[in-house]
Structure 1
């Protein structure tokens, strides 16, 4: 009764908070339609209230109201980029990511002290400084070593005994050494103001910002300003010269960055550590002389946002005999501009005329040095036809859509896929619908160089896709599929792909009947992970939507088994590790009861380690925690726990269970699995000569505790049978090759994007 009373008060608060009563009722109606009955909606609301409080309940209600409004009158957000991405973040003392400051030097001794003084005088303190020298012939090294001694606490040196052959070799080497979340390549002959880092770091509070750059004044050898930034910005980004901004890389490339490099030099920029960016291993890029920085930026920011601040200054030194001036007079400069054009075609969705404007600008440079009567010589160096041929087909821009950054297979799989796409150099952005509060450990699973978007209103999804140049949006949750379809109703150029993880076959008939016509109208391709996913859909529907099976996969990673002693577990004990959301249908209580009963039949002590959070964790922990039943809550490093255990354990009776990722995690950790015979688990455990584990049958989606206890006790006490299971693990895990999986997804994206992409002549 008390729970019902609290729920009634909550419903009244939510209704009162709504601007009009009808949208609130529409949201409630949509919730009832989706979950199937008012009783189920009330139960769901009560669980949300218990775990997330009133804030969580209000958030869910707001989302339902937004979705209901979109269903009645689907429209688009028509605001500015500032409204789409929010204002430039304010400084926050609690936000202090580590910055790696890289100083690549070659024969710049006359300028080094001013450069280094401007670095060590920064008001932002969380930095490491990496001083490089590329076999200088002047006294650069003595100066660098002097500063390294004076600032030994945060400074390292890396000196080459043989010249590397180019500055981008130095960049790639230094990025391997850098440990910071953010990177500043501070060229050795430039300098800056003391607030440079403090001003730019704040931009990265927006998790989609990949790079931020500052105002640059061009100075001569003596440090006298010869050209201010305003002239450059007025020419390339009119209206933005004197204001801070955050814009999408796609918009900036099509507005200006595809024509001229808008970042004057790398000293003016701070960027997220690019990690294993494929470009860094490209020998052709490393050998470039002038345009390598432009190409680097184009790779780095793709799919994300870029910030600009006029509130601090970088001073870019121009030498009459410097590399930049000399290279612009050589033919190689124009050949490199053709390489830039090739990369633009390979990486970006370009509007009409962008490349022609790029070539026209290059020709103007050429004519300023060579005259207007040498066009054939220029054409031999820079050809758009040659650039197009070299670029080849472009993979589309992908928006990976997550229901929430929380534990669960359907929630973490899109993170895995986004990471794999990024590793292969694809343009991928991640949109978190934030239907539940973010679990920090799950957030950390997403690569730092994948732009993360979190909108303050779902109605902005269409505008986000347009501004990012998105061509394929990929969702992984029935609710997300439906919401995305609503908000992309007026974005026919965005193709929608969904992956089925088991929800549709569990849907209430009314909810499925409502969603199916929307899928017919809006969804372009469906990927499924288990044969059971096909049940709700007719053969004709499957044929029209090109249903494609792609098996789940996870990448191998370093494993550091947890020390059993930290959990009070003996080396000779038998350990089962169960990892899942703590839902009733995942079999937590049955696992506890079966292990307790198995212990009575076992000569070995049997432990059960339970990892995950949810209602069953809260309900069972106070009652069942003991010296052999361990409730650990959420853990991001689950393979370390599987590796500590003898076997994975998944006694699931969840009707939507399809191809659970935790089975793959256990196999990658080298451990067989005891699991219910449900979904694709039997096929997942198939080895060369048997199963990499043991299966038990469900009876009408219920678990026979005594039968499961017999299985557990038998495996725990039969070393020969256990050895056979473990021998099959290497053969079973071969099925889950992430490279195979991601290539298949790339093929799907390419097919659906090509079918819907308008013809454009760059």
Structure 2
């Protein structure tokens, strides 16, 4: 009789053939053996299938290929549908694990039944190389980590850095209404039902590509809008069960609205394209709605003047 593995390692992939060997091998090199490795190919057009096929002789490795591309969030949720392990550990297809990652994460999950999420420091590699040391360590209340990250950035981590319990998927899967915040939204829902443990070691390796650092300007600007609506949604719906007496959500919303001034600065030189007028209007409307329009525009004018002087 087959028994479920302790951990489901999930690799969602799309056209990442050149990185899959490293990712898969980092799982097979784990010191902790009780896992299943599930690879879900989101209808790749490169030679991903050929790369993955080399590893299918290992009975822990399973491969699925979607008949159509269901999007990044859809593929993450498809991975969850196949998982059978007690603990869920994603690995993005261009990232890697430290050989002892599963061993150390599982030890924490086993020791602390109230912990819903484990993360760790991480090594950034590729186009940039450094270690991201997290601001908190060891056992923390879920709400403490939620408040701390919402006042800062999503330092909790990318999917490669985080482990959570399959039993806690009662909070739901990854939500398609978010683009770059979909993982943070999931972590905050996990932290609403349990605590967090932060291992102060770099146990995951997150790859940064050159095109991530020189990405499409307008696409990056849309992240400011998503940030604003994310925080606005926290106030309106409070899916994360936060205590607003301890958490100044209104100030954070105004801060996120004011960040939209960066959209104005970037989009003004591109107003010859009609679609950019819509982006500008969206930024201006957010600034007006949160009553931060005039001070934000003053900042924008100052920054534009400084830029003009530097280019003169």
Same-fold call, TM > 0.5? yes
2:310 paired residue number: none
Using the alignment, how far apart are the partners of 2:254 and 2:52 within structure 1? Answer: 41
Deviations along 1:513-536, one digit per CA (max 9) or x if unpaired, are xxxxxxxxxxxxxxxxxxxxxxxx
Asked whether the 8 Å contact 1:135–1:160 carries over to 2, the reply is: yes
In the alignment, is residue 147 of structure 1 matched against residue 37 of structure 2? no
1:684 paired residue number: none
- Residue range with higher mean Cα deviation, 300-309 or 340-349: 340-349
2:72 paired residue number: 167
4+ aligned runs moved over 4 Å, structure 1: 323-328, 361-366, 371-377, 381-385
2:211 paired residue number: 321
In the alignment, is residue 302 of structure 1 matched against residue 207 of structure 2? no
Using the alignment, how far apart are the partners of 2:113 and 2:202 within structure 1? Answer: 22
2:15 paired residue number: 107
Using the alignment, how far apart are the partners of 1:384 and 1:271 within structure 2? Answer: 37
Q: Which runs of 5+ in 2 are unaligned?
A: 269-278, 291-312
Deviations along 1:660-709, one digit per CA (max 9) or x if unpaired, are xxxxxxxxxxxxxxxxxxxxxxxxxxxxxxxxxxxxxxxxxxxxxxxxxx
Q: Which runs of 5+ in 1 are unaligned?
A: 1-95, 386-762
Secondary structure of the equivalent of 2:37?
A: strand
Once the two structures are TM-superposed, the CA of residue 178 in structure 1 deviates from its matched residue by 0.5
2:113 paired residue number: 207
Asked whether the 8 Å contact 1:214–1:311 carries over to 2, the reply is: yes
TM-score of the superposed pair, with normalisation by structure 2: 0.76
2:147 paired residue number: 254
Q: CA 1:105 to 1:320, structure 2 compared with 1: closer, same or farther past 3 Å?
A: same
In the alignment, is residue 191 of structure 1 matched against residue 96 of structure 2? yes
Secondary structure of the equivalent of 1:142?
A: helix
Deviations along 1:100-127, one digit per CA (max 9) or x if unpaired, are 0000001111111111111110101110
Q: CA 1:335 to 1:97, structure 2 compared with 1: closer, same or farther past 3 Å?
A: same
Indicate the structure (1 or 2) with the bigger Cα radius of gyration.
1
Q: How does 1:202-281 map to 2 (within 5 A)?
A: 202-204=107-109, 205-221=111-127, 225=129, 227-230=130-133, 233=134, 237=135, 240=136, 244-274=137-167, 276-277=169-170, 279-280=172-173
Using the alignment, how far apart are the partners of 2:45 and 2:180 within structure 1? Answer: 22
Deviations along 1:613-671, one digit per CA (max 9) or x if unpaired, are xxxxxxxxxxxxxxxxxxxxxxxxxxxxxxxxxxxxxxxxxxxxxxxxxxxxxxxxxxx
TM-score of the superposed pair, with normalisation by structure 1: 0.33
2:276 paired residue number: none
Q: CA 1:154 to 1:317, structure 2 compared with 1: closer, same or farther past 3 Å?
A: same
Deviations along 1:296-355, one digit per CA (max 9) or x if unpaired, are 111122131011112342111112324994487445323322342144331222334245
Of 161, 164, 181, the match for 1:291: 181
Of 29, 33, 37, the match for 1:121: 29
Q: CA 1:258 to 1:215, structure 2 compared with 1: closer, same or farther past 3 Å?
A: same
Once the two structures are TM-superposed, the CA of residue 161 in structure 1 deviates from its matched residue by 1.6
User: Higher relative contact order by CA 8 Å / sep ≥ 6: 1 or 2?
Assistant: 2
Secondary structure of the equivalent of 1:187?
A: coil
Secondary structure of the equivalent of 2:210?
A: coil
Asked whether the 8 Å contact 2:120–2:202 carries over to 1, the reply is: yes
Q: How does 1:389-538 map to 2 (within 5 A)?
A: none
Using the alignment, how far apart are the partners of 2:260 and 2:27 within structure 1? Answer: 34
Q: CA 1:120 to 1:353, structure 2 compared with 1: closer, same or farther past 3 Å?
A: same
Asked whether the 8 Å contact 1:131–1:158 carries over to 2, the reply is: yes
Asked whether the 8 Å contact 2:260–2:283 carries over to 1, the reply is: no
RMSD: 3.2
Using the alignment, how far apart are the partners of 2:123 and 2:264 within structure 1? Answer: 24
Once the two structures are TM-superposed, the CA of residue 146 in structure 1 deviates from its matched residue by 1.7
Using the alignment, how far apart are the partners of 2:106 and 2:74 within structure 1? Answer: 26
In the alignment, is residue 335 of structure 1 matched against residue 225 of structure 2? yes
Deviations along 1:574-630, one digit per CA (max 9) or x if unpaired, are xxxxxxxxxxxxxxxxxxxxxxxxxxxxxxxxxxxxxxxxxxxxxxxxxxxxxxxxx
Using the alignment, how far apart are the partners of 1:138 and 1:369 within structure 2? Answer: 38
Asked whether the 8 Å contact 1:290–1:327 carries over to 2, the reply is: no
Using the alignment, how far apart are the partners of 2:261 and 2:125 within structure 1? Answer: 24
Using the alignment, how far apart are the partners of 1:159 and 1:367 within structure 2? Answer: 40
Using the alignment, how far apart are the partners of 1:257 and 1:213 within structure 2? Answer: 16
Number of residues of Structure 1 aligned to a counterpart in Structure 2? 271
In the alignment, is residue 356 of structure 1 matched against residue 251 of structure 2? yes
Using the alignment, how far apart are the partners of 1:332 and 1:371 within structure 2? Answer: 11
